[in-house]
Copies of this chain bind each other. A is one copy, B any other.
Amino acid sequence: MKFGFEVLHRDMGTGARLGVLHTPHGDVPTPVFMPVGTAGAVKAMSHESLEALDARIILANTYHLYLRPGHERIEKLGGLHNFMSWDRAILTDSGGYQVFSHRELRSITEEGVHFRSHIDGSKSFFSPEKVVEIQRSLGSDIVMVLDDCTPYPAGRADAEASMELSMRWARRCREQWAGQDDGTKALFGIVQGSVYPDLRKRSAEALGDLDFSGMAIGGLSVGEPKDLMYEVVESTVPLLSWEKPRYLMGVGTPADLVRSVAMGIDMFDCVLPTRNARNGYLFTSQGRVLIKNAMYAEDQRPLDPDCSCRTCRRYSRAYLRHLFLSGEHLYAVYSTLHNLTFYLDMMRKIRDAIRLDSLGNWLGLMEKGGDSSPRDL
């Protein structure tokens, strides 16, 4: 079974595409949102619940798994799918983002990045070749190149140097990959260049020459204004091949997903639905619910009357608020189930809208404020 991507339909009124990723662990309809399973587990979400929600792909973090339990141990135990007992698709990031997030703990050279474990302070080193090798050990279906995630704001010279480094690393990843590629799995490149259109263009061109199986847009959702993010996405997408899947990393809110899909993005990941759930921030068809708010103390309604998740079918806002304030484990379980249901249901609705050539109407409603769903989310 070869890795592949097909565009099945293009929305008439927008740049959105309906597609499917073919992976060794099943097909994934796109546009898709990938729940984040940092350490080989989506926080507070059982595999059974993910399957019931028809999640076809999750993201796992190379950095975390490398440190604990270790990629060599996971390989010995049959790879990540076997280790975590998940037989659907897995995308792993390169670990770069986590390493770069701990600024005081790392130093970057041409060769790669030296860093200290956030767990025990031990020293490690990631090179482009090594992160490809680690992800191969894990058995990821989709492998990401090591990149230098340019922080925001970055001056032009810094952004250029950072992008150029990422491009040299991407080439090294591609070469490492060539030695092990049997066509069943995918290596994705990552466009960098901060908020500078010409740098993004040069980055996309450099990656285009390397013929990756998919293309990601990195270095966004790192603190820049929302309008600027959309500008970059809008100007970068046309630089990417029509035939390949396009992945906007680390984005975003429900409204971000609708808008980015309309610009031609196919794949997303973000900790927002899961992390927000645990922090008491719940997404509903009627807007956000901050569950700790006293107004919910005696509210017997379901969290979202339009949601069919087990949480909404059974529990009241009053009970969820009580579980949250009491620090009960179940709060995380029920709230995560709801927020992920909201996200994955929304992606289903997005795919339906593309199929009907009506995503543009959805966008129009959003702009007029006539559609409550992602408005204030």
Give the B-binding residues of A (Cβ under 8 A). Answer: 39-41, 43-48, 64, 68-69, 73, 76-78, 83-85, 297-298, 300, 310, 314-316, 318-319, 322-323, 325-326, 328-330, 332-334
Contact = CB atoms under 8 A, between A and B. Distances in A.
Given A43-B330, A68-B322, A76 B314 contact: no
Nearest to A313: B85
A124 B365 CA distance: 53
Contacts of A300: 77-78
B41 A318 contact: no
Given A68-B322, A76-B298, A77-B298, A330 B85 contact: no
B329 A297 contact: no
A330 B298 contact: no
Nearest to A83: B319
B323 A41 contact: yes
Given A44-B333, A329-B332, A333-B333, 20 more contacts: A40-B322, A41-B323, A41-B328, A43-B330, A44-B330, A45-B330, A46-B330, A46-B333, A47-B314, A64-B326, A69-B318, A69-B322, A73-B318, A76-B298, A78-B300, A83-B316, A85-B314, A85-B315, A85-B319, A329-B333
Contacts of A83: 316, 318-319, 322
Contacts of A315: 85
A77 B40 contact: no
A297 B73 contact: yes
B298 A328 contact: no
Nearest to A43: B329
11 contacts: A39-B323, A41-B330, A43-B329, A43-B330, A46-B334, A68-B326, A76-B298, A85-B314, A85-B316, A329-B329, A333-B333
A76 B299 CA distance: 11
A328 B77 contact: no
A39 B322 contact: yes
A46 to B, nearest CB: 6
Contacts of A69: 297, 318, 322, 325
A83 to B, nearest CB: 6
A86 B76 CA distance: 44
Contacts of A298: 73, 76-77
A275 B22 CA distance: 43
A328 B39 contact: yes
A90 B315 CA distance: 18
Greatest chain B CB density within 10 A among A41, A47, A300 is at: A41
A42 to B, nearest CB: 8
A328 B36 CA distance: 13
Q: Which 3 residue pairs are nearest across A and B when measured between Cβ atoms?
A: A44-B329, A39-B326, A69-B322
A302 to B, nearest CB: 10
A316 B84 CA distance: 8
A318 B82 CA distance: 11
A328 B43 contact: yes
A334 B333 CA distance: 12
A85 B318 CA distance: 11
Contacts of A323: 39, 41
A77 B318 contact: yes
Contacts of A318: 69, 73, 77, 83
